[in-house]
Amino acid sequence: MSVFEHRSFDGHEHLAFCHDKPSGLKAIIAIHNTHLGHALGGCRMFDYRCEDEAINDVLRLSRGMTYKSAAANLPLGGGKSVILGNPRQYKTEELLRAMGRFIDSLGGRYVAAEDSGISEADMRIMGQETSHVAGFSSQPGERGDPSPATAYGVFIGLKAAVEQRYKSSDLKGLRVAVQGVGSVGYRLAEMLAGEGAELWVSDVYAESAEQAAAELGATVVEPDQIFSSPVDVIAPCALGATVDDTVLSQLTAGVIAGSANNQLAYDDLGAALKARDILYAPDYVINSGGIIDVYYQRQGLPYARAHKHITQTVTETLQEIFQRSTSTGEATNVIADQVARRRFEPDTSAIDCVA
């Protein structure tokens, strides 16, 4: 298999295949672009069906991080890592420490944070082997997990999208379906319920969905029914590539706004959504709250600074994208890429990064 010819290869700077025999670790670290700064991005552990699926994921996710940091006006590049294997079965301290050593070997070109399948506690274990890890608290009282900041960014981004599409940001009575009520999805559901939205939820772990039903009055639907729920907004907060042709034919919602990375199964779906008058809030813009928070944490700055940055950047960038999409007729995901590229490409990066 050729990586340089891979369908998801996009001029990535660095791809490291990591194997540690004693712990059984198999992982891939991808650094997409470091024009704006060192690469920062999550470390995911997932039971990939095959190696190609993992390579595809890490190539797409690391590229997404370059665009996300640029769109968020952060002086950071894009990277991501994936550990191959079911986290519930194969995650051990030995394996996490081995991953920490591989991250360390890159000398700070890549800084890892938590992602699906990797917890704050896991990051703390990696942190025993390297300082190039972020997004976890090392002492009681310190903030760490970026999920609350991500959820907040998705919440205000969802409101901006609702305002654009339905001409009102009042969530009272708005019907929202949340796919995946994990670290981000559950918090988003709480905020939506707090402003009077009606919720539909699904999760492959039935207990999580049932908790949302019990605590937030959500209607639980089967995972394969969530996109056809009779709602105004869909919030994909599980894994990527969930919006595909089948989903497109089922949708009744006018807005897609959620936290998952790489929500569209392929890029042209953005145009298909626009043709159906479904407003898509580009994933890496709306879910950038977490990376913004992690950036401020590493600078030793308080959450209030991150919160202000999230509030301003997520809302303003989405509004710019929506307006340009309306005026040019181009899909929102295409416009988002243009906005991000304008910020990270070396010759044109006349940008307003935070200092």
Tokens of 255: 């807005």
* Binding test (CB under 6 A) with ligand NAD, winner from 180, 192, 253, 274: 180
- Asked if 223 touches ligand NAD (CB under 6 A), the answer is yes
Sequence letter at residue 326: T
Q: Choose the binding region for ligand NAD from 75-83, 167-175, 234-242, 346-354 (rule: CB under 6 A).
A: 234-242
Q: Using CB under 6 A, which of the segments 157-165, 255-263, 272-280, 342-350 binds ligand NAD? A: 255-263
The tokens of 39 are what?
Answer: 């690469």
Could you say whether residue 339 binds ligand NAD (CB under 6 A)?
Answer: no
Asked if 62 touches ligand NAD (CB under 6 A), the answer is: no
Phi, psi of 336 (to 5 degrees): -60, -45
CB of 188 to ligand NAD, least distance (A): 9
Contact 228/248 with Cβ under 8 angstroms? no
Q: Measured from the CB of residue 208, what is the shortest distance to ligand NAD in angstroms?
A: 5
Nearest distance in Å: CB 289, ligand NAD: 7
Instruction: Based on the shown chain and the rule CB under 6 A, indicate whether residue 220 belongs to the binding site for ligand NAD.
Output: no
Q: Which residue stretch of 1-9, 83-91, 145-153, 326-334 sits at the interface with ligand NAD (rule: CB under 6 A)?
A: 145-153
For 101-132, give one letter per residue: b (16+ CB within 10 A) or e: ebbbebeebbbbbbbbbbebebbbbbbebbeb
Cα angle: 3, vertex 6, 12; to 5 degrees: 65
CB of 291 to ligand NAD, least distance (A): 7
Question: Which of 233, 239, 327, 238 is CA-nearest to residue 281?
Answer: 233
- Contact track, ligand NAD, 275-304, x by CB under 6 A: ------------x--x--------------
Q: Applying CB under 6 A, does 184 fall inside the site for ligand NAD?
A: yes
Number of chain residues interacting with ligand NAD (CB under 6 A): 27
Q: What secondary structure letter does DSSP report for 243? A: B
Rounded to the nearest whole angstrom, what is the least distance from the CB of residue 174 to ligand NAD in the complex?
21
Map residues 66-95 to x or -, x wherever contact with ligand NAD holds by CB under 6 A. ------------------------------
Of positions 65, 260, 264, 340, contacts ligand NAD by CB under 6 A: 260
Rounded to a whole number of angstroms, the minimum distance from the CB of residue 284 to ligand NAD is: 8
Burial class (CB in 10 A: 0-12, 13-18, 19+), 310: buried
Does position 202 interact with ligand NAD (CB under 6 A)? The reply is yes
Q: Is 80 considered catalytic here?
A: yes
What is the torsion angle, in degrees rounded to the nearest 10, for the CA atoms of residue 254, residue 256, residue 257 and residue 258? 140
Find out whether 216 and 196 touch, Cβ atoms under 8 Å: no
Helix (H) or strand (E) holding 153: helix 147-166
Closest CA to 279 of 157, 171, 113, 185: 157
Q: Which residue is nearest to ligand NAD (CB)?
A: 182
Contact (Cβ atoms closer than 8 angstroms) between residue 233 and residue 154? no
CB count in 10 Å sphere of residue 16: 17
**Which of 26, 80, 91, 274 is labelled catalytic?**
80
Q: Is 150 in the site for ligand NAD (CB under 6 A)?
A: yes
Q: Provide the annotated active-site residues.
A: 80
Residues that bind ligand NAD (CB under 6 A): 115-116, 146-147, 150, 179-185, 202-205, 208, 223, 237-240, 259-261, 287, 290
